[in-house]
Amino acid sequence: MSGAIDTILLDLGGVLIDVDYERTARAFKDLGCTDFDGLYSKARQTDLFDRFETGELGAEAFRDELRRLCRKDLTDPEIDTAWNAMLGSIPAARISLVERLRQRYRVLLLSNTNAIHVPAFTEIVRRESGITDFKGIFHGAYYSCEIGLRKPDADAYLHVLGRHGARPGNTLFIDDSPQHVDGAWHTGLRAEHLDLAREDLVGLVGRLGLL
């Protein structure tokens, strides 16, 4: 596989950073949002979260909408803490893997994320790894809330590749969400689904013989 690939495009949540969506659901339920499961799920998001991920809604508007749907007296810190509860660690082995991949490939990041999560996971990386410029460990890193595009829309993949002159057929996309992998395939990228129940990114890269 590695012979035809010159670019690797990585997802963030689940692939690099551990994510537990149930922790956020429980945190909001503890705040009185008893129907949070109806508002958010990993596989199918409501329009509220889609708009937040593309930057159509800013953080303040997102918080206000959650207050309207949940509890009017929720504070900004309460909302942010519950929303960020899903974010876990980025193991040092995965950071090291990115650095080793960079020596052989153009390594890019494309994440569906939002204006509350970005500073939160940036701080996690700084605290755990001492890295103050997370985007700097990639040849290019793109967040949906900043570029106004999100996976699995073809324009999101093509925007990132176009910024680096990368060709879809020579790019391997890795994501733990099947719908994002399907979107990449339909856009012409080579794509691998990371089945987190079976392996992590380090194992997948080894199994594919990328290093």
Q: Can you tell me which residue has the tokens 């690797």?
A: 8
What is the residue extent of each domain of the chain? 2-18+89-208, 21-84
Six-digit token string for 137: 């460990």
- In tens, the pLDDT along 18-55 reads 999 999 999 999 998 887 777 765 435 568 888 999 99
> What average pLDDT does the segment 182-202 reach?
97
Six-digit token string for 47: 């329009």
> What average pLDDT does the segment 92-116 reach?
97
Choosing among 3.40.50.300, 2.60.40.730, 3.30.1490.190, 3.40.50.1000, the CATH entry for 2-18+89-208 is: 3.40.50.1000
Residue (of 153, 131, 136) closest to 144 by Cα position: 153
The Cα 90–Cα 86 span in angstroms is: 13
Domains 2-18+89-208 and 21-84 share a fold: no
> What average pLDDT does the segment 158-177 reach?
97
- In tens, the pLDDT along 53-78 reads 999 999 999 999 889 888 889 999 99
> Is the predicted pLDDT of residue 88 greater than 50, yes or no?
yes
The full DSSP string for 45-89 is --HHHHHHHTTSS-HHHHHHHHHHHS-TT--HHHHHHHHHTTB--
> What average pLDDT does the segment 135-152 reach?
98
pLDDT score recorded for residue 3? 59
Do 83 and 50 meet the contact criterion of CB atoms below 8 Å apart? Answer: no
pLDDT score recorded for residue 45? 55
CATH node for 21-84: 1.10.150.240
pLDDT score recorded for residue 181? 98
pLDDT score recorded for residue 79? 96
- Mean pLDDT over all residues of the chain? 93
> Is the predicted pLDDT of residue 118 greater than 80, yes or no?
yes
